[in-house]
């Protein structure tokens, strides 16, 4: 997609676009990249993603780790200077986004989505559309209801059959799982809702 830009402002736009990319870029991606996290508490490093797998080491709280991937309730971390073994820790034992180690290198997703496209062979990144609007308290307060967009949204609704087809093609299989815990609002889950006192 080519976008005509006056030479004089090209560099500015390029700069803004690159800056926007950095902001829009997710710090994570689907494939391998260095995500930094710290352990919230003392955590066992397991050989495999299973509770009965051998324990390779015990990481103290606040250990800085590099994340490889997640599998169910487990997260795989890679060796660092402080940690020789690669292994798995419980996903809930990690906190992401340690600011001192945050990486903003490109990810598979962020730079290419929605508002941003590569222009021509130069590789220069320019914004080709209006940047998405912000949804803030102020913008909601000032918003006029948009019924034509609502109509458009209704047009995207799908039938149960279409939904089940997606599940089938994704190999998703239904399971019977009861809700967790008690409803805090005093109603039992699943009971028809009525206005309480």
Partner 1 sequence: MSYLRKKITLAVLLLTASASPAWAFGGFNVDIGKVISAGKNLTETSREIGESEEVAIGEGMTSVLLGAAPLVRNDALQKYVNRVGRYLTLQTERPDLPWSFGVLNSQSINAFATPGGHIVLTQGLLKRMRSEAELAGVLAHEIAHVLRKHHLAAMKKMGGMGFLADVGSIAVDQKGGGGSLGKELSKNLLSGVKEVLIRGLDKDDEYEADRMGVVIATRAGYDPYGLPSVLQTLEANSGSSDAALLFSTHPAAASRLETLSDLMQSKLDHYQGKSVSDRFSRMLPSGSKN
Q: By CB under 8 A, what part of segment 79-138 binds partner 1?
A: 90-92, 94-97, 99, 102, 108-110, 112-115, 117-118, 128-137
Q: Which stretch binds partner 1 (CB under 8 A): 8-16, 28-36, 55-63, 77-85?
A: 28-36
Q: Is 147 in the site for partner 1 (CB under 8 A)?
A: yes
Cα 172 to Cα 42: distance, rounded to the nearest angstrom: 35
In whole angstroms, what is the distance from residue 121 CA to residue 131 CA? 23
Q: CB-wise, 87 or 107, nearer to partner 1? A: 107
- Cβ closest to partner 1, residue 51 vs residue 57: 51
Q: Which stretch binds partner 1 (CB under 8 A): 6-14, 53-61, 80-88, 173-181?
A: 173-181
In the bound state with partner 1, the residue whose beta carbon lies nearer, of 9 and 152, is: 152
Q: Report the alpha-carbon distance of residue 64 to residue 78 in Å, rounded.
A: 11
Going from the C-alpha of 181 to that of each of 6, 90, 159, 185, the distances in angstroms are 61, 22, 32, 12
For partner 1, the closer CB: 7 or 195: 195
Nearest by Cα to 96 from 44, 27, 46:
27
Instruction: Select the span of 5-13, 54-62, 76-84, 166-174 touching partner 1 (CB under 8 A).
Output: 166-174
Q: Considering the rule CB under 8 A, would residue 38 count as an interface residue with partner 1? A: no
Q: Which residues, listed in sequence order, are joined to residue 39 by a DSSP beta bridge?
A: 94
What are the φ/ψ torsions at residue 118 (nearest 5 degrees)?
A: -75, 140
Q: Which of residues 46-65 bind partner 1 (CB under 8 A)?
A: 51
Using CB under 8 A as the binding criterion, the count of chain residues that bind partner 1 stands at: 85
For partner 1, give the closer residue by CB, 84 or 159.
Answer: 159
Shortest Å, Cβ 84 to partner 1? 25
Whether the CB-CB separation of 85 and 79 falls below 8 Å is answered with yes
Which of 146, 112, 153, 136 shows the shortest CA–CA distance to 29?
Answer: 112
Rg (CA), the chain: 24
Question: Judged by CB under 8 A, does residue 150 bind partner 1?
Answer: yes
């Amino acid at each position: 997609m080519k976008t005509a830009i006056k030479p004089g402002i090209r560099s500015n736009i390029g700069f803004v676009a690159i800056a926007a990319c950095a902001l829009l870029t997710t710090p994570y991606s689907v494939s391998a990249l260095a995500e930094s996290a710290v352990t919230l508490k003392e955590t066992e490093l397991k050989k495999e993603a299973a509770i009965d797998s051998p324990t390779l080491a015990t990481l103290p709280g606040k250990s800085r780790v590099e994340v490889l991937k997640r599998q169910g309730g487990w997260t795989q971390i890679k060796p660092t200077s402080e940690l020789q073994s690669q292994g798995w820790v419980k996903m809930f034992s990690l906190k992401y986004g340690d600011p001192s180690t945050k990486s903003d290198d490109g990810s598979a997703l962020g730079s290419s989505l929605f508002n941003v496209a590569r222009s021509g062979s130069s590789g220069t990144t320019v914004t080709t559309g209006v940047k998405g609007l912000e949804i803030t308290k102020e913008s909601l307060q000032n918003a006029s209801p948009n019924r034509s967009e609502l109509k458009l949204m209704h047009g995207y609704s799908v039938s149960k059959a279409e939904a089940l087809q997606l599940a089938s093609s994704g190999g998703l299989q239904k399971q019977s799982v009861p809700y967790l815990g008690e409803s805090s609002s005093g109603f039992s889950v699943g009971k028809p809702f009525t206005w309480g006192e």
